[in-house]
Chain A
Amino acid sequence: MFQNPEISLEHLPSLDHVDWQPLHDRYVAEQVVARTGTLAFLVVLMCVVEFAPPVEIPLTLLRWGVLGLFGAALLTWPLVAVPRQGYIVRDKDIVFRAGVLWRSVTAIPYNRIQHVETSSTPLNRHFGTATLKLFTAGGAGGDMKIDGLPADTAEQLRVMILEKAGASIEQS
């Protein structure tokens, strides 16, 4: 028997009072290490300019000053940004939030998911993290990308979401 009871707006599940799941504890450390690599590359580049200059460039102090500030921001940013990221796995959808200044909250219902992907780089594996990517129809690239999940959580999520998405496909 088909039923269609009325639902009042106040009783809709809301995202206002839920606990956001944090990312992996070591994700901040991983980000700092990855960014140190980027910074090291920039420092080497700067040294080349400094000690074997193709042409004479003035303002040495200013350049190193800017690089220093940029490097400090680069390395401390994960400390600010990562705690602001989080996700919620609900019965019918998954929600991900990110952003320090510009904050965004994205929600994907399981019955719209086309496929799920997990991936990890060698650095990820060293820190025990993994990336979960969810794809919906019509989107180019990953529609939701959650970096820094604990590797086993990512795998569990992948299996669970696939199961839920598959169940909805069989229904329709």
Chain B
Amino acid sequence: MSKADALGWQRASPLAVVFFIGRIVQAIVKNAVQSLAPLAAFLVAYRGDVKSMITIIATVATVALIVSAVLRYWFFRFRIEDEQIRIREGVVRKKQLDIKFDRIQGVNTEQNFIFRIFNLFTVRFDTAGSAGEEGYLPAVRQSLAEDLQSRLRLRTPVVEAEDEAQAVEDASPEKTLLRLGLGDMVRIGLADRRALLVFAFLGPVFEQMGEQTQRAIADYAETAAGQLAAFGYWAGVMVVVGFVLFILILLAGFSIIAAVLRYHDFQLSFADNRLRAVGGLLTRHENTMRTGKVQVFRARQGLVMRMFGRFKLSASQAASGKTPTNKTFTVPVADLAFTERLHRLIFDEEGRRLSVRPDDARFLRMSPMWFRSRVLQWTLPPAMVIVLLTLATGDLAPLRMLLFVPLTVLLTYQAWSRFGYLYDEDGLVRRSGLFGWRVDAFLFRKVQRITIKQSPFQRRRGVATLRMYLASGSVRLPYIDARTATELRDYILFKVESSQRAWH
């Protein structure tokens, strides 16, 4: 019996109550917001003293929340054995969870700001293939979290390290690969597309503000307009431009703050074939992923990231059984040199020869038929509708809309010229993009199944669409030479079928 096992069933730190309060609140927000509606309706209809009623309800709710969190803490016990971790939890409905160490793919830790003061961690286990059952240990001491992580490291199958030189390298101490600074936070924030979503939310918010506020704003706008009239047209334009700029700066500020919250002091390190990322201002997130588990390595950039010359990198591992969301490991911002370095690190010698530089001259293009059929499918039908409309009504106004034709043709051509693929004996890299780039890389031996599809048009032109399914999604090569497609398929099948190495 090992030392850890001798401890038997243990409780988490009492501070785990904080964690359970968080979980309960999360559950309520996620599932039960609608069920609060009757309560709200009751309050609106209530004729008595609303204020004291709200106070009573709030007090009762808070007490109930704390009591149930304490109960959940009290009934949460875990026991670490040689082969597995056992967790017993549940106040009314009892649950026992046995997590075998060799089923665990990774240990992720999280630290919110209260836990940080006491140096406690919440440990989450990545168990691929489990039926959505999530294992976690709240508020455990650092020594235990580290003990669990080192246990898993010892269990890493030696299959991955094939020769001794590699094994020696594996034993080397953890190397820090990347550290993100404030400049990077600004880049992440500015490139964050979610900032635009805020616009979508602003509309309903204004609607909710009520008539009075709206009238006040309208009054203000009117007087302001009256004053502006004195300064003339350009002053008005300046005010509008200023307002738009103000909103944009505000949004950018918010998303930079969000980036700092999530990625402050982000550090990426590598040891024992494992990538480890730590970052976050209030809650520190730690993620680990074994490089051998990576199915697809992806680098992408939008317009903003392209201006900074940076990419967002992600490595995805196999999607687990019932939950279709795949586990991804993300590096929010990195330059091209680091992108290439991480790609080589993840795919090791198998990925060493392939370039993930999207501007590499060796990339092969899709057939021009791709461009042609895209234009035929997406541009021609709407254009014909417009022409028919003009003919039917005799009104020439809709013809102006035909201006979209050269625009979409141009965009389609741009997309075609950026589309490309590159392969060697071990893997394939696909690039695409419109304004920025997206590069997907994978190893042939990790492919799960392959499909070749041909439309009648494609058959006539001798092209085909090759689709390679990996455990984390598929990569499509549309409109490549049909001969190349079948040869690639046969070669990939050969690689998969002759591979003795674990694919996950």
Partner-B contacts on A (CB < 8 A): 7, 9, 12-16, 92-93, 99, 101-112, 136-140, 143-144, 171-172
Contact = CB atoms under 8 A, between A and B. Distances in A.
Interface string B85-103: 0000000000000000000
A93 B489 CA distance: 12
A104 B493 contact: no
A143 B453 contact: no
A119 B121 CA distance: 47
Nearest to A171: B500
A92 B497 contact: yes
B450 A102 contact: no
Given A102-B454, A171-B500, A172-B502, A140 B324 contact: yes
A109 B451 contact: no
A15 B493 CA distance: 11
A9 B424 CA distance: 13
Nearest to A4: B498
B469 A136 contact: yes
A136 B454 CA distance: 23
A137 B493 contact: no
B449 A144 contact: yes
A13 B448 contact: no
Contact of A107 (B454, B459, B471, B489): B489
B68 to A, nearest CB: 36
Contacts of A102: 453-456
Given A14-B490, A15-B486, A106-B451, 9 more contacts: A7-B494, A9-B487, A13-B494, A92-B493, A105-B453, A112-B448, A136-B449, A138-B295, A138-B472
A138 B490 contact: no
Contacts of A143: 448-449, 469
A139 B497 contact: no
A138 B496 contact: no
A138 B486 contact: no
Contacts of A106: 449-451
B491 A12 contact: yes
Contact of A111 (B159, B473, B497): B497
Nearest to B317: A138
A104 B487 CA distance: 16
A134 to B, nearest CB: 8
A138 B493 contact: no
A7 B326 CA distance: 35
Interface in B439-476: 447-456, 459, 469-473
Contact of A108 (B326, B448, B456): B448
B200 to A, nearest CB: 29
Given A92-B497, A109-B496, A138-B318, A16 B486 contact: yes
A93 B448 contact: no
20 contacts: A9-B487, A12-B490, A92-B493, A93-B493, A102-B454, A104-B451, A104-B454, A105-B453, A106-B449, A109-B496, A109-B497, A110-B497, A112-B449, A136-B469, A137-B318, A137-B319, A138-B469, A138-B470, A171-B500, A172-B501
A136 B448 contact: yes
Given A102-B455, A138-B471, A172-B502, A107 B450 contact: yes
User: Lowest 9 A-B CB distances belong to which pairs?
Assistant: A138-B471, A137-B471, A136-B448, A92-B497, A108-B449, A104-B453, A106-B451, A109-B496, A138-B319
Contacts of B504: 137
B469 A139 contact: yes
B503 interface: yes
A93 B497 CA distance: 8
A171 B501 CA distance: 9
Given A102-B455, A103-B459, A137-B471, A12 B449 contact: no
Nearest to A112: B448
A101 B451 CA distance: 16
Contacts of B449: 106-109, 112, 136, 139, 143-144
B326, B450, B456, B459, most chain A CB atoms within 10 A: B450
B469 A15 contact: no
A104 B502 CA distance: 29
B454 A109 contact: no
Interface string B118-135: 000000000000000000
A17 B499 CA distance: 25
Nearest to B449: A108
